[in-house]
Structure 1
Amino acid sequence: MGRLETLGRALFGGVLAYTAIDNLRDIEGMSAYADSKGVPAADRLVPLSSVMLLFGGIATVLGRAPRLAGGAIAAFLVGVTPTMHDFWNKDEEERDGQLIHFLKNTAMLGGALFFLGSGPEEN
């Protein structure tokens, strides 16, 4: 494995793991926000999805189970992005910020799909 690939995995997975830890540190606030956005059973889905993201991030950093890690990250992003960053429903003041988050998550989804499609599951 090359240095650039290792650095790329560390950056991608590390940021996602940090995000998951940040979610878990404020699980009540994150669950309340998700509930306000209409997420059903937010008090259970937010911790579950945050743990999925944490697993995916750590596994990516370690270079383990790339397809499983990519799948966990992709599932998180597919569920969260349109629900939590619905820029099309925001007023002008909030629209740009939510659009940036939506596009950032879409780019990360591309990275997750790359890992989902890379290599054998045994890695």
Structure 2
Amino acid sequence: MSDQSSQSAERLDDIGDVDVATDEGEERTGRRKPPLVARLLFGGVLAYNGYTQLSNLQQMAGYADAKDVPKPGKMVPFTGGMLLVGGLGVVFWRAPKFLAGALATFLAVTTPTMHDFWNADEESKQSEKNHFLKNLAMLGAALAFVGWDDED
């Protein structure tokens, strides 16, 4: 192998030793955290959804009312706040089991209520089914965070 090829191979080996999916907090606390990229993707999306929900209260309350959600004027800001705080809690790994549990509860309750594709008309059935399945995947992720063992 040429010198240039062996230097490239050594650089690639060095890159393999870097774990870009963690953050420095583990070294300070001695506790394991889920990979940062997983926390950013899951928590970030839910926090963004919460922010969007809070930014469009009237529209979201109308949608919730159409789905027969009780007291949509109160439930929409409550659930938007839950998504925002819960998502950020997972990202920054603060009260993670409690907040991931709150998110799991939210997803378990709202998924069949808001995305009841079996009751949807043909025009929106596929879209509602996609949202339903996406929420099931997020529910699985929330449960994984709830069950995360952060002890060494």
Partner of 2:145: 115
Q: What per-residue deviation string (whole Å, max 9, x for no partner) do you get for residues 68-110 of structure 1?
A: 1211211221221111111000122211110000000000000
> 1:50-65 alignment to 2 at 5 Å?
50-65=80-95
Paired residue type of 1:3 = V
Structure 1's unaligned 5+ residue stretches are: none
Partner of 2:31: none
> 1:25-36 alignment to 2 at 5 Å?
25-36=55-66
Distance in structure 2 (CA, Å) of the matches to 1:36 and 1:91:
14
Deviation at 1:16, TM superposition (A): 0.6
Structure 2's unaligned 5+ residue stretches are: 1-18, 22-34
Partner of 1:67: 97
Q: What per-residue deviation string (whole Å, max 9, x for no partner) do you get for residues 22-47 of structure 1?
A: 00000111011101111111111111
Bigger relative contact order (CA 8 A; separation at least 6): 1
Alignment match of 1:23 (pick from 44, 50, 53): 53
Length-normalised TM-score, structure 2? 0.74
Partner of 2:20: 3
Distance in structure 1 (CA, Å) of the matches to 2:52 and 2:45:
10
Looking at secondary structure, tell me which structure has more helix per residue: 1
Q: Is the 8 A contact 1:55 1:72 kept in 2?
A: no
CA RMSD of aligned residues (A): 1.2
Distance in structure 1 (CA, Å) of the matches to 2:124 and 2:66:
16
Partner of 1:78: 108
Larger-Rg structure: 2
Q: Is the 8 A contact 1:78 1:109 kept in 2?
A: yes
Paired residue type of 2:125 = R
Distance in structure 2 (CA, Å) of the matches to 1:84 and 1:36:
9
Distance in structure 1 (CA, Å) of the matches to 2:51 and 2:136:
20
Length-normalised TM-score, structure 1? 0.91
Instruction: Report sequence identity in percent.
Output: 49
